[in-house]
């Protein structure tokens, strides 16, 4: 007898992250249960990109779920920035080595904004999920206790962030053997997730963890910063393109707005010159008082057999070097990232939700629906724009839309991946003489992890970041 069960699809930045979501779907959970399981597994499998000490965004939709965006990105501290003497707090620069490029980050206690991830977990579970949080957290807890083998991609991230991992005794200890092929265990994180799975918002934000973080010397966070923090629920930013609706991250964050503005700019032209012009337009808009985030980012997408879609983007920045006592994870360094402090360090407005370029996105059409997103700092806006253009304007398959060569324009400079035709390259060089041609495809250009459901079910993890796609029943 032929099965009538409909398939599910999962795409994530690590095989174990995707497998955790699949395990929950096999147990009868929905896409929202599965995305939380993937999120918690990413703390174990992708610990330098994803952490309970960071922030993120979850965009969801389904037959019985109106589209909504859960914003659990970080808040700035309540202390007035003008009262802070940068020379008198734990805040200092390190250099991240990206091979052909280097970038300065600031770390230390004073680089951390209020972590939002635990609030996002509690809000998502309370409003969306069908399984107990203990069941959802179980795959991640077991993996943290047993240990996971570090893959080449995560080891490469560790190499880039080596100055941060070596910045404190606690970080050195936690990431002592974080090298390709080594088994990395994190029993402190397992205990943290085990307790979190039976607790609530108050346990993290009004309990001992928040108290310890607020009492740390040189931290800018006070108890009220934790007790007042809440996950915000927002209406997605929506754009209608022919028979499709594109839903993405709304203000106060900026990534979704810039993606939408690029798509609008295309109008009736979809050639490579028009794409570059749209990117140049977005770069001009970016020069207004808007800000961005962040290199330390990962994304996961889930579609279940009932038609629910979940798109989740997470970030910990690069981490501030400080390990949360007895918890096995590092706090974010969002106050120390130049990209999201465009006006300069220690010039933020107190108690304000920080802006982000992260843009979890859904595309809803009559025949196909998509959930997608990417890491990649300020490349997020151009990466997703190009993939959406390939899907909707060029009718490419999801695999070809993600694998197609990309370019990125910023501050008058154009970076170009290999794969464009000779005519396209000639057009791009003529239009923008200041450019760099890359010799290979690179994680610099993002890592789009996306799923498709409807007439065809597909899951694609971006090869640029060793992503993983799973389709199952």
Active site residue 291: no
Asked whether 170 and 109 are in contact (CB, 8 A), the reply is no
Asked whether 217 and 109 are in contact (CB, 8 A), the reply is yes
Asked whether 63 and 336 are in contact (CB, 8 A), the reply is no
The two tokens of residue 86 are 């940068």
- In the DSSP assignment, the letter for residue 100 is S
The two tokens of residue 430 are 């003529």
The residue from 297, 313, 382, 458 that is catalytic is 297
Q: At 33, is the secondary structure helix, strand, or coil? A: helix
Query: How far, in Å, CA of 295 to CA of 300, rounded?
Result: 16
Cα angle 189, 194, 199 (rounded to 5 degrees) comes to 120
The two tokens of residue 367 are 């025949």
Omega into 252 within 30° of 0, i.e. cis?
A: yes
Residue 62: strand pairing partners? 65
Asked whether 222 and 109 are in contact (CB, 8 A), the reply is no
Sheet strand arrangement including 237-241: 237-241, 244-248, 361-364, 368-372, 450-454, 458-460
The two tokens of residue 378 are 């300020």
Asked whether 357 and 377 are in contact (CB, 8 A), the reply is yes
* Cβ atoms < 10 Å from Cβ of 46: 28
Give the dihedral of Cα atoms 276, 277, 280, 286; nearest 10 deg: -110
Q: Which residues are catalytic?
A: 297
């Amino acid at each position: 007898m032929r099965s009538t069960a409909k398939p599910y699809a999962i795409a994530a930045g690590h095989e174990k992250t995707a497998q955790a979501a699949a395990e929950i779907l096999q147990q009868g959970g929905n896409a929202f249960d599965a995305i939380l399981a993937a999120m918690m597994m990413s703390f174990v499998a992708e610990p330098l990109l994803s952490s309970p000490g960071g922030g993120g965004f979850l965009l969801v939709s389904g037959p019985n779920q109106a589209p909504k965006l859960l914003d659990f990105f970080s808040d700035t501290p309540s202390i007035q920035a003008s009262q802070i003497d940068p020379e008198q707090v734990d805040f200092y620069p390190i250099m991240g080595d990206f091979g052909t490029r280097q970038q300065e980050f600031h770390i230390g206690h004073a680089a951390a904004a209020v972590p939002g991830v635990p609030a996002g977990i509690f809000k998502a579970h309370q409003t969306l999920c069908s399984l107990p949080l203990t069941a959802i957290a179980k795959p991640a807890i077991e993996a943290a206790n047993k240990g996971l083998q570090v893959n080449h991609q995560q080891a490469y991230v560790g190499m880039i962030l080596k100055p941060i991992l070596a910045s404190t005794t606690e970080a050195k200890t936690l990431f002592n053997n974080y090298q390709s092929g080594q088994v990395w265990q994190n029993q402190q994180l397992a205990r943290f997730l085990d307790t979190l799975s039976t607790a609530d918002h108050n346990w993290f934000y009004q309990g001992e963890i928040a108290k310890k973080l607020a009492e740390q010397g040189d931290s800018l966070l006070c108890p009220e910063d934790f007790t007042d923090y809440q996950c915000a629920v927002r209406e997605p930013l929506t754009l209608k393109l022919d028979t499709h609706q594109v839903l993405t991250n709304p203000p106060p964050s900026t990534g979704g707005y810039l993606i939408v503005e690029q798509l609008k700019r295309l109008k009736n032209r979809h050639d490579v010159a028009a794409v570059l012009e749209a990117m140049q337009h977005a770069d001009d808009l970016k020069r207004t008082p808007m800000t961005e985030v962040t290199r330390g980012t990962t994304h996961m997408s889930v579609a279940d057999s009932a038609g629910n879609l979940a798109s989740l983007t997470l970030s910990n920045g690069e981490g501030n070097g400080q390990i949360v006592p007895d918890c096995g994870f590092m706090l974010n360094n969002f106050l120390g990232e130049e990209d999201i402090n465009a006006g300069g360090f220690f010039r933020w407005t107190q108690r304000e939700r920080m802006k982000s370029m992260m843009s979890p996105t859904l595309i809803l059409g009559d025949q196909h629906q998509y959930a997608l997103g990417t890491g990649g700092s300020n490349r997020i806006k151009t990466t997703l724009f190009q993939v959406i253009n390939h899907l909707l304007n060029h009718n490419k398959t999801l695999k070809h839309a993600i694998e197609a060569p990309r370019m990125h324009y910023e501050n008058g400079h154009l970076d170009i991946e290999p794969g464009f035709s000779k005519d396209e390259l000639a057009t791009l060089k003529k239009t923008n003489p200041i450019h760099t041609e890359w010799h290979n495809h690179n994680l610099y250009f993002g890592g789009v992890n996306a799923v498709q459901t409807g007439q065809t079910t597909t899951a694609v993890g971006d090869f640029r970041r060793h992503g993983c796609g799973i389709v199952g029943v």
